[in-house]
Amino acid sequence: MTSQTTDVQGLMKACQRGVAGKGPAIEAANNLLAECYGLLGKLAAENEALRKDAERYRVLRQADVDTIQNGGLFAGLVPDNIVINDHDLDRRTDAVIAERKEAKP
């Protein structure tokens, strides 16, 4: 568990505890803390999903160009049947992302 995850969990616990006392100001503060708690949970989950996606992409990005002959996981370009990695994979991936964005109405 990273220190960032621990910090988020500590902050979420503090939000969950709320503030002691009575009155509309305390109630509003506790409502705000509850909203913050929910948002922190969503952001932590999104961060974890993005971290996993980045880790997966790094595996493909670092694949050896001989992977197609040696076996293993790689990103390939068809119909050329070549392994692409590193900056070439970045460039081609960015181009596909740009094309998809342009194609959306």
Phi, psi for residue 73 in degrees, rounded to 5: -95, 135
Sign of CA dihedral 52, 55, 61, 65: negative
Is the pTM of the predicted complex or chain greater than 0.85?
no
Residue 21 C-beta-side C-alpha neighbours within 13 Å: 10
Q: Which structure tokens are listed for 11?
A: 């902050």
pLDDT tens digits in sequence order for the chain, 105 residues long = 455 556 777 777 776 666 677 788 788 887 888 888 888 889 999 999 999 999 999 999 999 888 878 888 899 888 888 899 999 999 999 999 999 999 987
- 43 Cβ partners below 8 Å, 6+ apart? 8
Q: Show me where the domains of the chain are located.
A: 1-61, 64-105
Q: Which residue has the tokens 């922190």?
A: 40
